[in-house]
Amino acid sequence: MNLLFKALNDQTRREILEYLKEKDLTAGEIADKFNISKPSISHHLDLLRQAGLVVSVKEGQFVYYALNTTVMDEMLKWIMQFKS
Protein backbone atom coordinates (compact mmCIF):
# COMPACT_ATOMS: atom_id res chain seq x y z
CA MET A 1 0.00 0.00 0.00
CA ASN A 2 2.83 2.37 0.84
CA LEU A 3 4.52 1.90 -2.51
CA LEU A 4 1.17 2.27 -4.23
CA PHE A 5 0.24 5.57 -2.62
CA LYS A 6 3.77 6.79 -3.06
CA ALA A 7 3.76 5.95 -6.76
CA LEU A 8 0.50 7.77 -7.31
CA ASN A 9 1.62 10.84 -5.39
CA ASP A 10 3.14 12.48 -8.44
CA GLN A 11 1.46 14.18 -11.39
CA THR A 12 3.98 12.89 -13.93
CA ARG A 13 3.53 9.29 -12.84
CA ARG A 14 -0.25 9.61 -12.90
CA GLU A 15 -0.05 10.98 -16.43
CA ILE A 16 2.18 8.10 -17.48
CA LEU A 17 -0.52 5.71 -16.31
CA GLU A 18 -3.11 7.61 -18.32
CA TYR A 19 -0.97 7.30 -21.45
CA LEU A 20 -0.51 3.60 -20.83
CA LYS A 21 -4.25 3.23 -20.49
CA GLU A 22 -4.48 3.97 -24.22
CA LYS A 23 -1.71 1.63 -25.31
CA ASP A 24 1.61 0.10 -24.33
CA LEU A 25 4.58 2.38 -24.89
CA THR A 26 8.36 2.17 -24.88
CA ALA A 27 10.35 4.09 -22.31
CA GLY A 28 11.43 6.48 -25.04
CA GLU A 29 7.91 7.10 -26.27
CA ILE A 30 6.84 7.89 -22.73
CA ALA A 31 9.77 10.24 -22.21
CA ASP A 32 8.89 12.08 -25.43
CA LYS A 33 5.55 13.08 -23.92
CA PHE A 34 7.15 15.04 -21.09
CA ASN A 35 9.60 17.88 -20.72
CA ILE A 36 11.69 15.78 -18.41
CA SER A 37 14.94 13.97 -19.08
CA LYS A 38 14.91 10.30 -20.00
CA PRO A 39 16.74 9.27 -16.82
CA SER A 40 14.09 11.00 -14.74
CA ILE A 41 11.31 9.26 -16.63
CA SER A 42 13.18 6.00 -16.20
CA HIS A 43 13.17 6.62 -12.47
CA HIS A 44 9.43 7.35 -12.49
CA LEU A 45 8.83 4.13 -14.40
CA ASP A 46 10.88 2.29 -11.82
CA LEU A 47 8.68 3.59 -9.01
CA LEU A 48 5.55 2.61 -10.93
CA ARG A 49 7.03 -0.84 -11.46
CA GLN A 50 7.92 -1.17 -7.79
CA ALA A 51 4.31 -0.42 -6.98
CA GLY A 52 3.19 -3.03 -9.46
CA LEU A 53 1.30 -0.47 -11.50
CA VAL A 54 3.22 -1.25 -14.66
CA VAL A 55 5.10 -4.19 -16.08
CA SER A 56 7.98 -3.94 -18.51
CA VAL A 57 9.01 -6.27 -21.31
CA LYS A 58 12.19 -5.94 -23.27
CA GLU A 59 11.82 -6.29 -27.01
CA GLY A 60 15.18 -5.95 -28.69
CA GLN A 61 16.61 -2.62 -27.76
CA PHE A 62 13.25 -1.27 -26.62
CA VAL A 63 11.53 -1.71 -23.29
CA TYR A 64 7.78 -1.75 -23.47
CA TYR A 65 5.74 -0.65 -20.51
CA ALA A 66 2.19 -1.79 -19.90
CA LEU A 67 -0.40 -0.94 -17.29
CA ASN A 68 -1.26 -3.41 -14.56
CA THR A 69 -4.45 -2.40 -12.83
CA THR A 70 -4.83 -5.39 -10.54
CA VAL A 71 -2.87 -3.71 -7.76
CA MET A 72 -5.37 -0.88 -7.80
CA ASP A 73 -7.98 -3.22 -6.37
CA GLU A 74 -6.32 -3.16 -2.97
CA MET A 75 -6.41 0.61 -3.01
CA LEU A 76 -10.02 0.68 -4.16
CA LYS A 77 -10.91 -1.61 -1.30
CA TRP A 78 -9.09 0.62 1.15
CA ILE A 79 -10.94 3.69 -0.02
CA MET A 80 -14.28 1.90 -0.17
CA GLN A 81 -14.06 1.00 3.51
CA PHE A 82 -14.75 4.67 4.21
CA LYS A 83 -17.72 4.83 1.90
CA SER A 84 -19.73 2.19 3.71
- Residue 83 within binding range of a second copy, rule CB under 8 A: yes
Buried b (16+ CB within 10 A) or exposed e, 1-13: eeebeebbeeeeb
Residue closer to a second copy by CB (options 14, 38) is 14
- Which of DNA, a second copy, none binds 76 (CB below 5-8 Å, type-dependent)? a second copy
- H-helix segments, 1-71: 2-8, 11-22, 27-32, 38-50
Judged by beta carbon, residue 43 or residue 78, the one nearer DNA is: 43
* Candidate residues 28, 55, 66, 76; the one interacting with DNA per rule CB under 7 A: 28
Residue 47 makes contact with a second copy by CB under 8 A: no
Instruction: Identify which of 32, 30, 68, 36 has the alpha carbon closest to the alpha carbon of residue 49.
Output: 68
Q: Least distance in Å: CB of 18 to DNA?
A: 16
